[in-house]
Amino acid sequence: MSRDPLADDHLIPPYRVLDLTDESGVFCTKLLADYGADVVRIEAPGGDPLRAKGPFPNDAPHPEKSLSFLFYNTNKRSITLNLETEEGQSLFRRLVKKADSVVESLPVGYLKGLGLDYDALHQINPQLVMASITPFGQTGVWSKYKSSDLIAMAASGYMQITGEPDEPPVRQGNSQSVYPGAQYASVAILAALYYRDLKGGEGQYIDVSLHEALITYYTDAHPALAWKQMGQNVTRVGTTSTLVIPLGAYPCRDGWISAGIITPREWDTLAQWIYEVTGNAEILNEEYRGGNQDRAPHNDIITALFMDFTSRFTSEELFHQGQERNLVFLPVNDVSDLLLDSQLEASHFWSELDHPEVGPLKYPLGIFFSEEISPGYAPAPRLGQDNRVIYRDELGLTEQDLVRLRANGDI
């Protein structure tokens, strides 16, 4: 199956979104931009701090070459604007007049201090949908607390269940905290625009708590419920589970393999396969049969037998031979494996975008596949590359105005 190469039909209309997010919210505006919105990233005159954050090609810092900036700003435009000067604020208000949405992740109360909070912007443009993505939300005793990826992972309890049981909690290495709040915000913004455009509603304000969003991303561990009902705190179980056996990542001949055996039928198939390979009849013990709870008392012996089995194969062999038996064996990949993965290729996961400073790279734009709909295919913008188009052509400023604003540090 392939997408019509001429399809330029995006998921959403080119809604004008003013992007005031930092790393904790930038994935939201990236999603909207990839879906087809006209997202204008508003950078302080010195440039978005993400531009100073690596990684960089050859580790040489350069504001146009931050791979973090490139990753999170595909399909956006960029203008520079100083929100802390009066002239800058006045330009921002003029931009808000024509905008569909403002998305921000500034400290709670910061925009109010500038007279640019929702109440003020709503006066200028009642149709505006404004979303704030903040660590703990706009209200409550923690709302003014400082945060970061590590702090978010701690406060939500996500890291309480990540890592080895006899080691301290560990955060996910991928900045996992940037995804849940941003994703919920993207849903809420689109719902609010749907309401505005199809139901004749006005604009509205959206308060997204990254803290709450992260807690929902491990719902099946049920920490608060376990406390309420049993007075127990859930904790780390390591790379393998102690309840579902086997389940997790296990060593194999050339690295790691992951596997999960849940139903009684899957267990019988696996036990027979292990017996055929190892000749050890212990695995066929009747006591080990049944659902996963039935194996919990025998975790140590079963895990040892299973690891004796997996260590005889490569990851690739276990993956395909397991799946041919209808068992869930999956490879343990690093990012280099993903870039070569034939399944991701077939899913149209990658798109090559040619950034003027960094050159062509594969970007993961294909979270969804549709024959009829395509994402945008523009690389991240250069700093202030759209100042002219937006300030001169849209707001009607003259070249002299731009020179003056630049000299005053407004843009």
Partner 1 sequence: MSDKALAGVRVVEFGPYVALPLTGRILASLGAEVIKVETNKVLDEMAFIPAWSRGAGQPDYQRHKKRITLDVRTPQGRDIFMELIKVSDVFTTNFRRNILARWGIDFPEVRQVRPDIIIMWQTGLGGHGPYYTYKSYGILVQHMCGVSMMTGAPGAPPAAVNTSYSDYHTGVFQPAAIIGALLRRQRTGKPATLESSIFTSGAVTAGPALLDYQVNQRLPERRGNRDPHAAPHGVYPCKGEDRYCAIAVFNEEEWRAFCRVLGNQDWSEDSKFATLACRLHHQDRLDDLIGQWTSQRTAEAVMEQLQEAGVAASVVSQGQDLYDSEHLKSREFYRETKYYAAERGKSASEWEEGSSLSWSMPAHLSATPMEFGDYSNIGEDNPYVFGQLLGLPNDQLAGLVADGVVY
Q: What is the dihedral of CA 408, 68, 390, 133, to 10 degrees?
A: -90
Provide the minimum distance between the beta carbon of 253 and partner 1 in the complex, in angstroms, as a whole number: 16
Provide the minimum distance between the beta carbon of 45 and partner 1 in the complex, in angstroms, as a whole number: 20
User: Of 7, 142, 264, 393, which lies in the binding site for partner 1, with binding defined by CB under 8 A?
Assistant: 142
Residues numbered 74 to 133 that lie near partner 1 (CB under 8 A) are: none
Residues numbered 56 to 85 that lie near partner 1 (CB under 8 A) are: 57-59, 67-68, 70-72
Residue 136 interacting with partner 1 (CB under 8 A): yes
User: Of 89, 105, 125, 258, which lies in the binding site for partner 1, with binding defined by CB under 8 A?
Assistant: 258
User: Of 4, 61, 98, 226, which lies in the binding site for partner 1, with binding defined by CB under 8 A?
Assistant: 226
User: Which element (helix H / strand E) includes 352?
Assistant: strand 350-355
Number of Cβ within 10 Å of residue 70's Cβ equals 21
31 close to 42: Cβ distance less than 8 angstroms: no
Tokens of 318: 């276990």
384 close to 77: Cβ distance less than 8 angstroms: no
Provide the minimum distance between the beta carbon of 282 and partner 1 in the complex, in angstroms, as a whole number: 26
User: Of 84, 197, 254, 287, which lies in the binding site for partner 1, with binding defined by CB under 8 A?
Assistant: 197
- Which among 383, 348, 352 has a CA at the least distance from the CA of 367? 348
Q: How many residues bind partner 1 (CB under 8 A)?
A: 159
Residues numbered 261 to 320 that lie near partner 1 (CB under 8 A) are: 262, 293, 320
- Which among 284, 210, 242, 195 has a CA at the least distance from the CA of 26? 210
Residue 356 interacting with partner 1 (CB under 8 A): no
Residues numbered 8 to 27 that lie near partner 1 (CB under 8 A) are: 9-13
| CB of 89 or CB of 258, closer to partner 1 | 258
User: Of 106, 171, 252, 384, which lies in the binding site for partner 1, with binding defined by CB under 8 A?
Assistant: 171
Q: How would you label 311-331 residue by residue, b for 16+ Cβ within 10 Å and e otherwise?
A: eebebebbbeebeeeebebeb
Give the integer Cα–Cα distance in Å for 325 and 18: 51
User: Of 26, 245, 252, 259, which lies in the binding site for partner 1, with binding defined by CB under 8 A?
Assistant: 259
Burial of 45 (0-12, 13-18, 19+ CB in 10 A): middle
Provide the minimum distance between the beta carbon of 317 and partner 1 in the complex, in angstroms, as a whole number: 14
